A and B are shown apart, each in its own frame.
Chain A
Amino acid sequence: MRPDRAAETAQTPSLSTRDLSIRFGGHVAVNQVTADFYPGTLTVIVGPNGAGKTTYFNLMSGQLAATSGSVHLGATDITRLGAARRTALGIGRAFQLTNLFPNLTVAENVRLAVQSRAHLGLNMFSVWFSHTELIERAEHYLERVALAERRATYVAYLSHGDKRKLEVAILLALEPAIMMFDEPTAGMSVDEVPVVLDLIRQVKAERKRTILLVEHKMDVVRQLADRIIVLHNGALVADGNPAEVMASPIVQQAYLGTGAPALEAAAKRHAALDEGARTVVPAQAGTQFSCCNAPKLGSRLRGNDDEGANETVTPFATASQAGMTGSMSAMRDQPTLSQHPPMSEPLLTLSGVHTHIGQYHILQGVDLIVPRGKLAVLLGRNGAGKTTTLRTVMGLWKASRGSVRFDGRDITALPTPDIAQAGIAYVPESMAVFSELTVRENLYLAARSGPLDTARLEWIFGFFPALKKFWNYPAGNLSGGQKQMVAIARAIVEPCKLLLVDEPTKGLAPAIVDNLIAAFRELKATDTTILLVEQNFSFVEKLGDTVCVMDDGRMVHSGSMRALVEDEQLQQRLLGLSLDSHQ
């Protein structure tokens, strides 16, 4: 659907931001974003993790105050107004993390929104239920989201999907001119999603309100968007027609790190292969090999054009296969290539792991194997459950079902400090450097066994020279990229068996990314196993030995990195961004 450009420029935008920025200490979360939103349109805001989408929303709806720039509602400058005033003026917001009134009933939650719209909050004289018109309107909205039967249930006892629906009902009940939805279908089951999407579609069809939507699911985006805005590192990088935006190489780069250049190189490699040789290998899929007989077909056929990932060791899709009991059905759907049994027991094994966070059922049966001494990559779009997987391994969130085995021990129920002491180091997505402590103190804290090993330090400085420069600075003063360096250095200041890294390239300059690649290679050489979560495909394709792709809390693919790099169709299927969408 192409928005009518002429009509847009003639209208005044109902909501707009001008050079809107906010900074937290050294980190600029939203960087001079200028955008206009028009009534009757639905704009989707997309961007990789940490791009600043929710922060941008918070700046517009008033939960955060901008450091510079302005927000305008129509002709009024609302930058200095608080959230309550902005809501009263017509901005409605639904939140990403469920944020309701837990000890009040469903009906009451909605009625409060209706009451606010009716400006009856300060009425102290009448009894609340005498205002039947409010109760009826609330009932009306409950029916629209199909929650009417639950009207007397306390919110604390609602299922997750119902809570998300209630969130939408409350937003509708405010009857705002501007509706802002932040990942409305997050964590919802497949059958619940259409209800919410239909509602949004209905509202959009009325063509009266301005709708803003933050979303990750590309199919949803394609269905609903009149216009797409892409944020990356807090800045606006694209704004316009959905098909064009999604096809733009810059956007692809932002999301996946996959740009036209990378795919071209892969295509060249592809063309250089012997057609016949390619078919031999798939035919062997489905057969069992004993350890010694397995030929390394892959490497002989493809040649070593990349230093590093030149083995075809592929992880088994399920733990049972690692035990070589051979269940072939799992392999049939996956175009994984020759199964080569690993030489030793994998270092880390997850079997059927389920993790709940409150009522969000995030991991829905994850099976993952990380072979010793390799670099395993965990890919997947936002919200797929990659970070949750790492946190579950680390014991920060407890698995509700399933087991985690590390180095021969069952660590599923161990407390986090014990897991760390068992030899797992963790670099979280949020980096979690201690801001009040200096760089030196951050690293010193990580050296459990005593003083810092100077030789090791020098080695680390080799990759991250900036650390030496800022040795005595409080870590909180550093830029995002430098904090990332501190976080990684902290994890490797002592040798460990398994290194869990969550999106390390976020915010790093390309030169440092190269250093990071070198660092990981050297770590692998010292027998450190690495499990790496990333969105930046071009970073991991050079580095990873094995790759697992997650979606909706489950593993949907696992195989060798080489195979994934070669197979574009597989990439498109798994990683979601289509290059051909505009055709």
Chain B
Amino acid sequence: MLKQLLSGDLPRSRVLSGALLLIFLGLALAPFLTSGARPLNTAATICVYIVLVASYDLLLGYTGIVSFAHTMFFGIGAYGIGLALASGEPSWRAAAGGLLLALALTVVLALIVGLFALRVRAIFYAMITLAVASSFAVLASQLSDLTGGEDGKTFSVPELLSPGFRLIDTEIFGRAIDGKLITYYIVFGGCLVLFLFLLRLVNSPFGRVLQAIRENEFRAEALGYRTMVYRIWANCLAALVAALAGALMALWLRYVGPKTMLGFEVMTDILLIVVIGGMGTMYGAVIGATLFIIAQNYLKALMAEGSSALAGVPFLAEALHPDRWMLWLGVLFVLSIYFFPFGIVGKLRMIRARARGA
């Protein structure tokens, strides 16, 4: 039963299985295990990022396509919901309409970019997606009447999801059963479904072809697979999932803005997570996103303390300043590419395989 659910892609490592179980339970029960807004926010962000990075892994790890346009689709999904709910009545119908529009735009853009740029060499494609994505970001921040510009837009959500709403009046484990909780479980549930969908996708015959294309495109073509078609499919599917993830993020934050949803920082975050977690594994996205978001939220406080402790020392104090946490992440990133080319998950699986005497 579990095997069917996970599409046969088992963790293959006890440590990994343990970690995944822990994360799953943690996220499922987060509202009741923690109190206050911040931990719940972290948990919701983790859910969304897991799906966002997993969809990127579909492109990078499984098909071998380097694309910098992924955040663009994330943003489109977010803005779709956000702008629809911001203009006029925050109703379910508006949300649905906005979402459908966003998904349609996503598919169209993914198709255009795919058809146009997948004919060219991989490096060209990477650079073109970078250019397209950054132009999109510029567009979003400049068309401020529509998009709220640099500051973005806050909006209200349908009543069921609003913080004021109460499903039942009693509290469970100290947590009010309010709109926020409901929103959390929509995000959690949605992300779970999307993740399992991606898992099924990469373990289907289609997913196996993607891996063949990554390994040797020339040979895949000679075997009778029209690689262009497969890559465009991969591109569109990954974009759609990213857009849905964006929609969930917008729903949670009740806010859309270029920095959170379209900025290059998001792209670098995705890249860091997918490399450190492990490319081509899907579970790498889970482990990587969890570690990353937790570190982002809580490690900075640690760094701040370290920085003040070293206040006198010239460069070290600056290096440990919480704003500089990207520095350490960058170093970790470069080191993982050298020493952990398969990421955390890959490493765990290799240890397990060796222990079994394979």
Contact = CB atoms under 8 A, between A and B. Distances in A.
A84 B224 contact: yes
A121 B209 contact: yes
Nearest to A119: B224
Contact of B223 (A104, A113, A123, A128): A113
A99 interface: yes
A431 B249 CA distance: 60
Contacts of B203: 127-128
Contacts of A63: 218, 222
Interface stretch (B141-149, B226-234, B250-258): B226-234
Given A128-B203, A128-B204, A129-B8, A121 B215 contact: no
A84 B225 contact: yes
Contacts of A518: none
B349 interface: no
B204 A84 contact: no
Contacts, number: 95
With most chain B CB atoms within 10 A of its CB, the pick from A95, A113, A115 is: A115
Contact of B218 (A99, A113, A116): A99
A401 interface: no
Interface string B1-24: 000100110000000000000000
B7 to A, nearest CB: 5
Nearest to A90: B224
The B interface is mostly helix, strand or loop, or mixed, namely helix
Contacts of B200: 124-125, 127
Interface residues of B, number: 29
Interface string A60-85: 01010000000000000000001111
A138 to B, nearest CB: 12
Contact of A104 (B212, B225, B226, B233): B212
Nearest to B197: A124
B208 interface: yes
Given A102-B216, A104-B212, A125-B200, A87 B205 contact: no
A61 B222 CA distance: 8
A101 B215 contact: yes
Contacts of B208: 108, 111-112, 115, 128
B209 A112 contact: yes
B93 interface: no
A424 B183 CA distance: 76
Given A112-B209, A129-B8, A100 B219 contact: yes
Nearest to B209: A121
B201 interface: yes
A93 B206 CA distance: 22
Q: Interface size for chain A: under 10, 10 to 19, 20 to 34, or 35 or more residues? A: 35 or more
B341 to A, nearest CB: 12
A127 B212 contact: no
A463 to B, nearest CB: 42
A155 to B, nearest CB: 9
B91 interface: no
B206 A123 contact: yes
A84 B227 contact: yes
B223 A116 contact: yes
A112 B204 contact: no
B305 interface: no
Interface string B183-225: 0000000000000000011011111110110011011111111
Contacts of A84: 221-227
A112 B205 CA distance: 9
A313 to B, nearest CB: 49
A99 B222 CA distance: 10
A201 interface: no
Nearest to A111: B208
With most chain A CB atoms within 10 A of its CB, the pick from B204, B209, B216 is: B204
B75 to A, nearest CB: 26
12 contacts: A83-B222, A84-B221, A84-B224, A87-B223, A88-B224, A111-B208, A112-B209, A112-B212, A115-B209, A117-B224, A123-B204, A123-B206
